[in-house]
């Protein structure tokens, strides 16, 4: 079984994924960590040194590598992974257990205000700009995120509760 978690930055893909994998003795892989390990650089360094286009191409390539060799695994993708190239189609062909962690704009803004610095797409934004950016960006990205067969609301809910809901619906 392979479970893929998608959703906007700050929606909790990594913490929920880690918990879910632990609950079911599955392997957990965080796509950003996988890319950092392969490239030998932090995501923010890849963006700064080589640019976003390079990052998106590498991301698609590593997604295929990862999905090809995945088994008994929970994978937390990057926020943009489903939204570029044929990635979402590829993901859906690889597993039917794709879960969108859905968060409101207010919740995402509050969470991301605290941790903008290491995120290349938002680190230059003021707190007021951040909410507007998320509103527009999420509107565009929802086109891809909503293709997931499962969607779980995360606002104000502990990681364990979200992992339990995924378990009852997907596992």
Q: Residue 83 Cβ, how far from ligand S3P at the closest point, in Å? A: 7
Residues 120-139 that bind ligand S3P (CB under 6 A): 120-121
| Residue 120 parent element (H or E) | none
Please tell me the total number of residues recorded for the chain in this structure. Answer: 171
Position 82 contacts ligand S3P (CB under 6 A)? no
The size of the interface with ligand S3P (CB under 6 A), counted in residues, is 10
Among the residue ranges 78-86, 95-103, 123-131, 160-168, the one whose residues contact ligand S3P (CB under 6 A): 78-86
**Complex with ligand S3P: residue 105 or 168, whichever CB lies closer:** 105
Residue 76 pairs with which residues in a beta bridge?
5, 30
Q: Which is nearer to ligand S3P, 43 or 152 (CB)?
A: 43
Residues in 7-46 that interact with ligand S3P by CB under 6 A: 9, 13, 32, 43
Collapsing DSSP to helix, strand or coil, 6 comes out as strand
Q: At what angle do helices 31-39 and 43-50 cross, to 10 degrees?
A: 60
Burial class (CB in 10 A: 0-12, 13-18, 19+), 58: middle
Q: Regarding beta strands 73-76 and 98-102, do their DSSP bridges make them parallel or antiparallel, or are they unpaired?
A: unpaired
- At its nearest, how many Å lie between ligand S3P and the CB of residue 121? 5
Q: How far is CA 153 from the centre of its chain?
A: 14
Among residues 80 and 162, whose Cβ is nearest to ligand S3P? 80
Q: Which residues bind ligand S3P (CB under 6 A)?
A: 9, 13, 32, 43, 78-80, 119-121
């Amino acid at each position: 079984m392979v479970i893929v978690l998608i959703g906007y930055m700050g929606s909790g893909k990594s913490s929920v994924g880690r918990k879910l994998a632990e609950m079911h003795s599955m392997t957990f892989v965080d796509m950003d960590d996988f890319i950092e390990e392969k490239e030998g650089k932090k995501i923010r360094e890849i963006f700064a040194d080589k640019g976003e286009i390079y990052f998106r191409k590498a991301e698609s390539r590593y997604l295929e590598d990862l999905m090809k060799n995945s088994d008994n695994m929970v994978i937390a993708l990057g926020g943009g992974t489903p939204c570029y190239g044929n990635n979402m189609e590829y993901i859906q062909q690889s597993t039917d257990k794709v879960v969108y962690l859905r968060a409101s704009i207010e919740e995402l803004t509050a969470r991301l205000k605290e941790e903008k610095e290491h995120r290349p797409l938002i680190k230059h934004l003021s707190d007021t700009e951040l909410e507007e950016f998320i509103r527009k960006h999420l509107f565009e990205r929802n086109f891809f995120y909503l293709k997931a067969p499962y969607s779980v609301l995360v606002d104000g809910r502990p990681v364990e509760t979200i992992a339990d809901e995924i378990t009852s619906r997907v596992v």
